Amino acid sequence: MKKTPAASRVVMTETVLPGDGNPVGTAFGGKIAQWIDVAAAIACQRHCRERVVTASMDDLHFLRPIRVGMIVELRAQVNAAFRTSMEAGCGSRARTRSAGNGSMCVRRS
Ligand SMILES: CC(C)(COP(=O)(O)OP(=O)(O)OC[C@H]1O[C@@H](n2cnc3c(N)ncnc32)[C@H](O)[C@@H]1OP(=O)(O)O)[C@@H](O)C(=O)NCCC(=O)NCCS
């Protein structure tokens, strides 16, 4: 059966708590990387229906600061599947509690 990238899509929402921040009041990059890793892993598991591990991460770009207290929405999906491995992409947008549309803050492939 043919599987589409959309079928693996994951939307994960997190709040940046004070413990997720750094001394300048923005999110600790390692925490964002953790959330990205989890979202991408869930997308891969949805695709292959097996347990997965992360072999490598190509790019991780922090485009704008994400402040403590913001809400972060991560969207991941499988972009390509090979023999036993998959490639997933993940982007995230951050917004304040009152804002509507957030802006793209992190991109990973
Ligand atoms: C990822 C891992 C399983 C690959 O093991 P391996 O013995 O090199 O396996 P293989 O050589 O048979 O490769 C299996 C597939 O992984 C791919 N792969 C291996 N290393 C890779 C890397 N660094 N980046 C991207 N793909 C990789 C191979 O291209 C191959 O793909 P294909 O089957 O679709 O052609 C192994 O390196 C590992 O267990 N790493 C630790 C993972 C981990 O602990 N992650 C952190 C916690 S989730």
Per-domain residue ranges of the chain = 5-108
- Residues 33 and 28: their CA atoms lie apart, in Å, by 9
Find out whether 5 and 76 touch, Cβ atoms under 8 Å: no
Distance from the CA of 102 to the center of ligand 1, in angstroms? 34
Q: What is the pLDDT of residue 2?
A: 84
Report which of 50, 49, 51, 38 is spatially closest to residue 88, judged by C-alpha positions: 38
User: Whole-model pTM?
Assistant: 0.90
Distance from the CA of 107 to the center of ligand 1, in angstroms? 22
Q: What is the pLDDT of residue 105?
A: 62
- Residues 56 and 70: their CA atoms lie apart, in Å, by 28
Tokens of 28: 């600790």
Q: What is the pLDDT of residue 95?
A: 86
Query: What average pLDDT values come out for the chain (109 residues) when binned by 10 residues?
Result: 92 96 96 96 97 94 93 96 96 79 62
Tokens of 96: 């304040």
- DSSP at 67: B
Classify domain 5-108 by CATH architecture.
Roll (3.10)
Neighbour count for residue 26 (Cβ, 10 Å):
20
